[in-house]
Amino acid sequence: MSTVEDELKGYQGQARAKLSEWKVRVWSDVQLTNDAGSVFEGVILPRSGNFDDLHIVIKMKNGYNIGIHVDRVTKIKEIGYKKAVYKIPEKEFPQSPDLPSVTLLGTGGTIASRLDYRTGAVIPAFTPGELYGAVPELADICNLKTEKLFGVFSENMAREQYLILAEKIGQEIEAGVDGIVIGHGTDTMGHTAAVLSFMVQNSPIPIVTVGSQRSSDRPSSDAALNLIHAVRAAAYGDIAEVQICMFGPTSDRYGLIHRATRCRKMHSSYRSAFRTIGDTPLGVVSADRFEYLTDDYLPRDPKRQVKIDARYDDRVTILYYYPGMDPDLIDAIVEKGYRGIVIAGTGLGHVNKPIYPALAKAVAQGVHVVMTVQTLWGYAQMYVYDTGRDLLDLGVVPLDNMLPETAFMKLCWVLGHTDDHDQVLKMMRDPVNHEITDREPHNGYLILQGGLPETEEYVSSHWK
Ligand code: ASP
C-alpha cells in the first residue's frame, strides 16, 4: 500500500503539512472542520503545480470544489479512501520530415491546465502526447517538441524566470528550430513578451507567446485555437520578433498577432483581451490564412545571429499617479533602495506639485525617473503645460508613447546593464523594438480591435 507521503503528491508546504498532520491523503474521503465549526464532506483532490501551498481542495458531494485555507482547518477525519486514476489520453506526437520544427516552452497559466471532468481537479497538460491528444491539429502544422520550464500562474513570473526563458530561447535557436512558442498565463504575458523583446534581439525566427483566457475543458475555451494560431505563426509566419498571438474578435474567426512591446491585456475575461496600443497589430492568422497588416517588421532569416542579452535588475517600480499622491511614497521608494521609477502620469504626463521636491531629491540621489501616460494611447508631451516643463527641469524624462509596463520591463533590463544616469536614459529612449514610435497611425486607434470598422457597423445598426 502506498504511504501517506506518496499520496500527497502535488501538495507542498503548509497544505502538505496539514494533510500529513491529520494523516489524510489525496483521494481520502474526509470530514473537514473549519474554525467556524462548519463541516465539509468530500474527497481531497490532487493539486497541480500551478497552485499555492495554502489551500486544501475538496470535491464536495454536491459536485462543487472548494479550497479551504490551511489556517482555517481545525480537524480532518478520514472516513474512506478510494484512489482515482486520472490522466489525459496520450498519443504519440507524429513526426513528419516535411514539416517545420517548433519548440513549445511552457511556463504555466490557464493554457497549461485543464479540468479533469470526473474529479474536477485542475491538472497540467503539457507533454507533446497530452497536447496532441487534446489538439490533434497541431500534428498537421509542425513537429512539436515541448518543455515545461515552470508551472506558475503568470503573476509569479519574475526576474529568475525571465532570465531562464531568454537563455532557453537562445539555446533552441542555436539548435535550429523554425519557431518558438511560449505558453504563458495571460495576466502578465505582455510583461514577459516585452522583456523578451529586449533580452532576445535579432532573432532569426518567430517567438510567439500564447495563453488562454478559459481552460480547455470549457466549451468556450480559446486554448486550442490560440495554440493552433500561435504554432502556425511560429512554424510559418514571417515575423521574427517576439509577438503575442491571441483571439482577435470575440468570435473565433481569427487570431491577432501583436508586437510584444506595444501590446496589453485589456480585458479581464474576454477571449479577445489582447490589444495593440498606439499602433495596428502586426497580422491576422487563422487556420488557413496569414494576413500581414504591416511590412514594418523583422522578417524571418535563418542566417541571422541571435543576440541574447539576459540581464535584469528588479529594483524598479511603477508609480501609478492618483490625485492627492503624497510625497512620502517617493521618499519611501528611494529609501528602500529602488533605482528606477516609472511614473504613469495623468494626461500628457503629469503629477501634482507637492511631490516635485521628492522627485527632485530622488533624481539627486541618482534614481532614474521616467514618465509614461495613464491614457495608454498618445504621447507624454511634457513641454505643453508649464507643470510638465517643471517636471522636465527636475530631471523626469518623458518616454513618449512607451507603454508603462513596457517601460517598467525595459528599465529593469537597462539597469541590468548600467546605473550611469546618462547611459540609462539614452538606452531608455533608444527604441530596441518599436517601444517608442514616431507617430500613431492616423486610423490606428482601436483599428481591427473592436474599433473601426466594427464600431461603425454597431453604431449604424443601433442608431438608425
Ligand atoms: N491568472 C492566469 C495567469 O495569468 C490567467 C491565465 O492564464 O489566463 O496565469
157 and 301 in a common domain: yes
Identify which of 258, 264, 244, 246 has the alpha carbon closest to the alpha carbon of residue 407: 264
End-to-end CA distance of the chain: 73
Q: Which of 186, 215, 246 to mutate to test the pocket of ligand 1 (most atoms within 8 A of CB)?
A: 186
Q: What is the pLDDT of residue 199?
A: 98
**d(Cα 264, Cα 67) in Å, to the nearest integer?**
31
Number of domains in the chain: 3
Within 298-355, residue ranges assigned H as helices are 328-335
Q: How many CB atoms lie within 10 A of CB 288?
A: 6
322 and 301 in a common domain: no
415 and 347 in a common domain: yes
**d(Cα 273, Cα 250) in Å, to the nearest integer?**
9
* pLDDT classification of 445: cutoffs 50, 70, 90: low
Window from 78-82, 218-222, 289-293, 320-324 with minimum mean pLDDT:
218-222
* pLDDT classification of 220: cutoffs 50, 70, 90: confident
Please list, residue by residue across 398-410, b when 16 or more beta carbons sit within 10 angstroms of its beta carbon and e when fewer do. bbbbbbbbbbbbb
Section 9-31 average pLDDT: 88
User: How would you classify the pairing of strands 368-373 and 397-398?
Assistant: parallel
Identify which of 436, 456, 437, 438 has the alpha carbon closest to the alpha carbon of residue 446: 456
Q: Is 75 a catalytic residue?
A: no
Q: What is the pLDDT of residue 66?
A: 83
Section 56-66 average pLDDT: 78
Q: What is the pLDDT of residue 125?
A: 61
Write the CATH number for 18. Answer: 2.30.30.520
Q: How many CB atoms lie within 10 A of CB 278?
A: 22
Window from 196-210, 377-391, 407-421 with minimum mean pLDDT:
377-391
Last residue of a domain, one of 308, 336, 364: 308
**d(Cα 292, Cα 237) in Å, to the nearest integer?**
9
Question: Distance, CA 224 to ligand 1 centroid (Å)?
Answer: 15
Question: Distance, CA 248 to ligand 1 centroid (Å)?
Answer: 18
* pLDDT classification of 416: cutoffs 50, 70, 90: very high
Q: What is the pLDDT of residue 129?
A: 77
Q: Which of 51, 153, 161, 272 to mutate to test the pocket of ligand 1 (most atoms within 8 A of CB)?
A: 153
Cell of 276: 495593440
Residue 151 has pLDDT above 60, yes or no: yes
237 and 140 in a common domain: yes
Residue listed under C-alpha cell 524624462: 397
Q: What is the DSSP string of 7-32?
A: GGTT--HHHHHHHHHTT--TTEEEEE
Cell of 103: 519548440
Task: Specify if 454 maps to a domain.
Answer: no
**d(Cα 311, Cα 266) in Å, to the nearest integer?**
28
Contact 283, 265 (CB under 8 A): no
Ligand 1 site, CB within 6 A:
109-110, 153-154, 185-187, 211, 213
User: How would you classify the pairing of strands 179-183 and 207-210?
Assistant: parallel
More confident of the two residues 251 and 7: 251
Residue 363 CA neighbour count, 13 Å, CB half: 19
75 and 162 in a common domain: no
More confident of the two residues 445 and 21: 21
DSSP state of 6: G
Cis peptide upstream of residue 89 (ω within 30 degrees of 0): no
Q: Which of 161, 187, 189 to mutate to test the pocket of ligand 1 (most atoms within 8 A of CB)?
A: 187
- 224: β partners: none
Cell of 332: 519611501
**d(Cα 383, Cα 110) in Å, to the nearest integer?**
44
Write the CATH number for 331. Answer: 3.40.50.40
Task: Specify if 89 maps to a domain.
Answer: no
Residue 120 has pLDDT above 70, yes or no: no
Q: Is 33 a catalytic residue?
A: no
Section 37-58 average pLDDT: 80
Within 254-350, residue ranges assigned H as helices are 328-335
Contact 432, 217 (CB under 8 A): no
In the predicted model, what is the mean pLDDT of the chain? 87
Q: What atom in ligand 1 is closest to the CA of residue 152?
A: 9
Task: Specify if 414 maps to a domain.
Answer: yes
Residue 455 has pLDDT above 60, yes or no: no
Question: Distance, CA 152 to ligand 1 centroid (Å)?
Answer: 9
Q: Active-site residue among 119, 186, 261, 317?
A: 186
Q: What is the pLDDT of residue 86?
A: 54
Question: Distance, CA 186 to ligand 1 centroid (Å)?
Answer: 5
Q: Is 186 a catalytic residue?
A: yes
Q: Active-site residue among 178, 187, 222, 400?
A: 187
Q: Is 110 a catalytic residue?
A: yes
Q: Active-site residue among 265, 276, 280, 410?
A: 265
Q: Which of 50, 110, 216, 265 to mutate to test the pocket of ligand 1 (most atoms within 8 A of CB)?
A: 110
Burial class of residue 21, CB neighbours in 10 A (0-12, 13-18, 19+): exposed
Q: What atom in ligand 1 is closest to the CA of residue 189?
A: 4
Residue 121 has pLDDT above 50, yes or no: no
Section 401-425 average pLDDT: 97
Section 220-241 average pLDDT: 92
DSSP state of 127: S
Q: What is the pLDDT of residue 231?
A: 96
* pLDDT classification of 235: cutoffs 50, 70, 90: very high
Question: Distance, CA 108 to ligand 1 centroid (Å)?
Answer: 8
DSSP state of 111: G
Task: Specify if 463 maps to a domain.
Answer: no
Section 436-458 average pLDDT: 66
Q: How many CB atoms lie within 10 A of CB 89?
A: 9
57 and 23 in a common domain: yes
**d(Cα 211, Cα 181) in Å, to the nearest integer?**
10
**d(Cα 49, Cα 112) in Å, to the nearest integer?**
10
Residue 289 has pLDDT above 50, yes or no: yes
170 and 117 in a common domain: yes
Instruction: Give the tens place of pLDDT for each residue, 292-312.
Output: 988 999 999 999 999 999 999
> What's the domain range around 66?
6-81
Last residue of a domain, one of 274, 308, 342: 308
Contact 317, 339 (CB under 8 A): no
Residue 87 has pLDDT above 80, yes or no: no
257 and 141 in a common domain: yes
258 and 178 in a common domain: yes
Instruction: Give the tens place of pLDDT for each residue, 325-353.
Output: 999 999 999 999 999 999 999 999 999 99
Write the CATH number for 253. Answer: 3.40.50.1170
Q: What atom in ligand 1 is closest to the CA of residue 154?
A: 9
53 and 107 in a common domain: no
Cell of 436: 517608442
Identify which of 180, 230, 206, 49 has the alpha carbon closest to the alpha carbon of residue 124: 49
Q: Active-site residue among 110, 209, 261, 276?
A: 110
Residue 55 has pLDDT above 70, yes or no: yes
Q: What atom in ligand 1 is closest to the CA of residue 187?
A: 4
**d(Cα 247, Cα 120) in Å, to the nearest integer?**
26
User: Ligand 1, atom 7: nearest CA belongs to which residue?
Assistant: 185
Contact 182, 105 (CB under 8 A): yes
Angle (deg, nearest 10), helices 159-174 and 189-199: 50
Q: What is the pLDDT of residue 393?
A: 84
Residue 115 has pLDDT above 80, yes or no: no
287 and 208 in a common domain: yes
Section 381-387 average pLDDT: 78
Residue 270 has pLDDT above 90, yes or no: no
